[in-house]
């Protein structure tokens, strides 16, 4: 009888632990027996919720605080970087988001002799998807666009730092990431869930609020659980060393087909799309939300923590095709997929079970 060898133990430093990406990555790592997990964020986290993860509260923009808080974590073998600082303009995004990554690497690399891999979370901004119509399907080999772009600066920092090091890097490029997280500025599933719940409370049909052309564009999404699996795969498969990968659910959709199905899951009718800024029309709904929390016995989450209206407006403004080629990951050995309709319906049901929405 062959005795199975124990997997070598690894320690993950998940930076951005409370976001939709970091939170789901931690949940996945906690299912794997050979990982210890350290979660890093400004707010820290609740270590009592799981014995597998301990949390560290760090101001990553403060180089000294980062060195002091992370400078004793000599056991770290893998850095999973998914932190993000929002700013009003594309140019203003660069300094803080680059500085946080640099501060983390500068704190961990000198003290962790067993550091094996640094995983960088990116997105389609690498392809200029946020600027307007871009080449689709986008491929990892596509040329960069005119800066500023912090995703590119972060990858170039790792590329320049890595030669001669014992560690490798990978860059994950998901589409819009959907999963459970509160207080996240980029959570489309939560936008739709709260918008639909309020529409139902007001006795209204569910109208698509985006640009007319966006209702008919071809899009894709990335499930946060699928992304977590891909992230760990890329960080632990030597074939993926120093590579970038588009990570998507594997299917394409148009809102004009999916929107009525989303409405049906809330027992709502649809009405013709009507372009409106959610950031504007939902700005006065906080008192209504408080009433709904009491009426339906929901968890008392603050309105600002369940609404990401600006991000919803951003996604619903894409009146152009928005998708990438995901075959490179499959060629390298990652074959997971997710049905996007099922993803949304599962997230909505999860939010109901958690008493986040009625």
Is the domain spanning 10-177+224-247 CATH 2.60.40.3140? The answer is no
d(CA 299, CA 357) in angstroms, rounded, equals: 8
Residue 46's pLDDT is 65
> Can you give the pTM of this predicted structure?
0.96
> What parts of the chain have a pLDDT lower than 70?
1-6, 46-51
Residue 1's pLDDT is 43
Residue 2's pLDDT is 45
Show contacts of 25-28: CB within 8 Å, 24+ apart.
25/80, 25/82, 25/227, 25/228, 25/231, 25/232, 26/53, 27/225, 27/228, 28/225, 28/228, 28/229, 28/232
Residue 3's pLDDT is 46
Domain ranges of the chain: 10-177+224-247, 183-220+252-324+336-351
């Amino acid at each position: 009888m062959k005795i199975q060898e124990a997997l070598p133990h690894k320690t993950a430093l998940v930076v951005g632990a409370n976001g939709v990406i970091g939170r789901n990555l931690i949940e996945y790592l906690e299912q794997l027996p050979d990982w210890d997990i350290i979660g890093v964020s400004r707010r820290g986290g609740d270590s009592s919720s799981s014995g597998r993860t301990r949390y560290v509260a760090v101001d990553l923009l403060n180089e000294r605080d980062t060195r002091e808080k992370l400078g004793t974590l000599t056991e770290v073998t893998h850095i999973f970087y998914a932190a993000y600082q929002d700013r009003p303009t594309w140019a203003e995004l660069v300094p803080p988001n680059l500085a946080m990554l640099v501060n983390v690497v500068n704190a961990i690399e000198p003290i962790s002799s067993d550091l094996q891999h640094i995983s960088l979370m990116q997105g389609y901004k690498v392809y200029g998807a946020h600027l307007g119509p871009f080449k689709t399907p986008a491929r990892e080999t596509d040329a960069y666009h005119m800066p500023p772009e912090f995703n590119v600066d972060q990858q170039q920092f790792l590329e320049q730092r890595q030669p001669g090091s014992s560690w490798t890097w990978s860059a994950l490029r998901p589409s819009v990431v959907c999963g459970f997280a509160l207080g996240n500025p980029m959570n489309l599933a939560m936008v739709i869930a709260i918008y639909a719940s309020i529409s139902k409370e007001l006795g209204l049909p569910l109208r698509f609020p985006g640009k007319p052309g966006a209702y008919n564009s071809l899009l894709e999404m990335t499930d946060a659980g699928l992304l977590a699996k891909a992230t760990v795969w890329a960080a632990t498969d030597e074939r993926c060393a120093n590579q970038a990968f588009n990570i998507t659910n594997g299917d394409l959709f148009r809102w004009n087909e999916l929107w009525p199905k989303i409405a049906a899951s809330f027992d709502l009718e649809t009405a013709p799309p009507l372009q409106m800024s959610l950031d504007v029309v939902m700005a006065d709904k906080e008192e209504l939300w408080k009433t709904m929390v009491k009426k339906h016995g929901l968890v008392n989450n603050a309105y600002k923590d369940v609404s990401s209206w600006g991000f919803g407006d951003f996604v619903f403004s894409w009146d152009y095709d928005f998708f990438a080629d995901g075959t490179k990951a499959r060629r390298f050995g990652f074959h997971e997929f997710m049905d996007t309709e099922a993803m949304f319906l599962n997230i909505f049901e999860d939010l109901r079970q958690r008493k986040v929405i009625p």
